[in-house]
């Protein structure tokens, strides 16, 4: 190796500042979409030049649940489906922090579905990144509430007989102020979406369609991880502001991606303060978090 080339070798991984290098290698499979999504979040944080001391990540259970363990941030790996309510408590206690929930489709929408819609309804200021791989991966490929109709899974060996959730429609109709969907192929656009979501006051939601070659692709004979990326390339349709009734995902159908919702609405804490101000006038000191003495 020449001296000139050696100079170009970086001693640090570019994301060393934001990843817990003492926990790498991670447990995810090769070609999994999670790595790309974590990279997108990491880049977003870097580009936003946020003080990473003031960012907390909360996750639940499943492959995506492990994200909290790899991010060098205050990070909480909670129970299955409960990342969102845990994050609600954390956010209310410390509204000065950026609270990010990283969650899989099963974790967030099946077992955690009720928490998801209610937190969107309250417009609690947090960012939800949902990695949707259409399947329960950690437990071995069982059907999820996002598995397309007719797709196979370990528990739907003859094809899924249930209609899946349309996540952007669910998020928007529950009250989210920012909703976007990208695939793991759209790294730059995904990074932009995460940046926008983090900056957005209120409940923001980014769905990431991500390949699971080990289970979803294998069970459905869709090829390798690379084949799935090619599929995203050929079948993604960018349609910003799309009618959310039209963004369902059928088995191997076109995938409508883009920024769908970006609106202004008072957050939970805004409304709390406004309500108490109405009731108590100047006696009320706007809530700023903590034990009430900061």
Partner 1 sequence: MKADPKNVLTGAHYLDGNHACAEGAIAAGCKFFAGYPITPSTEIAERVSRRFPLIGGVFIQMEDELASMNAILGASWGGVRSMSCTSGPGFSLMMENFGLGLMLETPCVLVNVQRGGPSTGLPTLPGQADMMQARWGSHGDYEVIALAPDSPQESFELAVHAFNLSEKYRMPVLIMTDECVGHMTEKVVIPDADQIELIERRYTDKKPGEAWPFEETEDLVSPMLPVGQGYKFHVTGLTHDYRGYPVINAEAQHKNVSRLMDKVRKHADDIIWLEEKDVDGADVVVVSYGISSRVVQPAIQRAVKDGIKVGQIKMVTVWPFPEKRIAELAGKVKSLIMVEMNFGQVFLEMDRCAKGKCETYLVGHAGGTVHKPDEIYKTIKEAAK
Positions in the binding site for partner 1 (CB under 8 A)? 20, 22-23, 52-54, 56, 58, 68-69, 72-79, 81-82, 84-94, 96-97, 114-115, 118, 272, 276, 279-280, 283-285, 287, 289-293
Which residue, 165 or 260, has its beta carbon nearer to partner 1? Answer: 165
Residue from 39, 78, 43, 36 nearest 57 by CA: 78
Distances (CA, A) of 136 to 62, 109, 197, 223: 8, 12, 26, 18
Which residue, 75 or 236, has its beta carbon nearer to partner 1? Answer: 75
Half-sphere exposure of residue 240, counting CA atoms within 13 Å on the CB side?
5
Rounded to the nearest whole angstrom, what is the least distance from the CB of residue 284 to partner 1 in the complex?
6
Rounded to the nearest whole angstrom, what is the least distance from the CB of residue 101 to partner 1 in the complex?
11
Rounded to the nearest whole angstrom, what is the least distance from the CB of residue 161 to partner 1 in the complex?
28
Which residue, 230 or 285, has its beta carbon nearer to partner 1? Answer: 285
Which residue, 69 or 159, has its beta carbon nearer to partner 1? Answer: 69
Asked if 256 and 168 count as a contact pair (C-beta separation under 8 A), the reply is no
Which residue, 114 or 253, has its beta carbon nearer to partner 1? Answer: 114
- The pair of three-digit structure tokens given for residue 44, joined into one six-digit string: 């977003």
Rounded to the nearest whole angstrom, what is the least distance from the CB of residue 123 to partner 1 in the complex?
13
Which residue, 226 or 274, has its beta carbon nearer to partner 1? Answer: 274
Quick check: bond before 135 cis, omega within 30? Answer: no
Rounded to the nearest whole angstrom, what is the least distance from the CB of residue 147 to partner 1 in the complex?
24
Rounded to the nearest whole angstrom, what is the least distance from the CB of residue 87 to partner 1 in the complex?
6
Q: Which residues contact 93 (CB under 8 A, 6 or more apart)?
A: 289, 290
Rounded to the nearest whole angstrom, what is the least distance from the CB of residue 53 to partner 1 in the complex?
4
Rounded to the nearest whole angstrom, what is the least distance from the CB of residue 107 to partner 1 in the complex?
13
Asked if 139 and 214 count as a contact pair (C-beta separation under 8 A), the reply is no
Asked if 80 and 63 count as a contact pair (C-beta separation under 8 A), the reply is no
DSSP string, 108-145: IIIITHHHHHHHHHHT-SEEEEEEE-SEETTTTSEE-T
Which residue, 120 or 249, has its beta carbon nearer to partner 1? Answer: 120
Which residue, 100 or 192, has its beta carbon nearer to partner 1? Answer: 100
């Amino acid at each position: 190796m020449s001296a000139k080339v050696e100079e170009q070798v970086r001693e640090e991984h570019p994301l060393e500042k934001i990843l817990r290098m003492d926990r790498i290698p991670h447990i995810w499979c090769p070609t999994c979409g999670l790595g790309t999504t974590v990279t997108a979040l990491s880049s977003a944080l870097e580009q936003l030049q946020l003080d990473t001391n003031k960012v907390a990540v909360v996750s639940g259970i499943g492959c995506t649940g492990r994200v909290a363990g790899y991010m060098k941030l205050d990070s909480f790996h909670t129970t299955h489906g409960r990342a969102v309510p845990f994050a609600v408590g954390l956010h209310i206690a410390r509204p000065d922090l950026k609270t990010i929930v990283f969650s899989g489709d099963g974790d967030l929408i099946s077992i955690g579905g009720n928490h998801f819609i209610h937190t969107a309804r309250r417009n609690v200021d947090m960012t939800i990144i949902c990695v949707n791989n259409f399947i329960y991966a950690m437990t071995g490929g069982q059907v999820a509430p996002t598995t397309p109709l007719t797709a196979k899974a370990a528990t739907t060996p003859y094809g899924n007989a249930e209609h899946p959730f349309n996540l952007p429609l669910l998020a928007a109709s529950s009250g989210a102020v920012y909703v976007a969907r990208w695939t793991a192929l759209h790294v730059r656009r995904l990074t932009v979406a995460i940046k926008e979501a983090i900056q957005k006051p209120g409940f923001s939601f980014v769905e990431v369609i991500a390949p699971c070659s080990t289970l979803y692709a294998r069970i459905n004979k869709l090829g390798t991880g690379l084949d799935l990326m090619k599929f995203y390339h050929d079948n993604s349709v960018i349609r910003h502001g799309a009618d959310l009734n039209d963004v369902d995902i059928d088995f191997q159908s076109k995938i409508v991606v883009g920024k769908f919702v970006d609106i202004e609405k008072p957050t939970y804490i805004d409304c709390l303060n406004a309500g108490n101000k109405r009731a108590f006038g100047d006696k009320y000191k706007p809530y700023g978090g903590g034990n009430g003495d900061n």
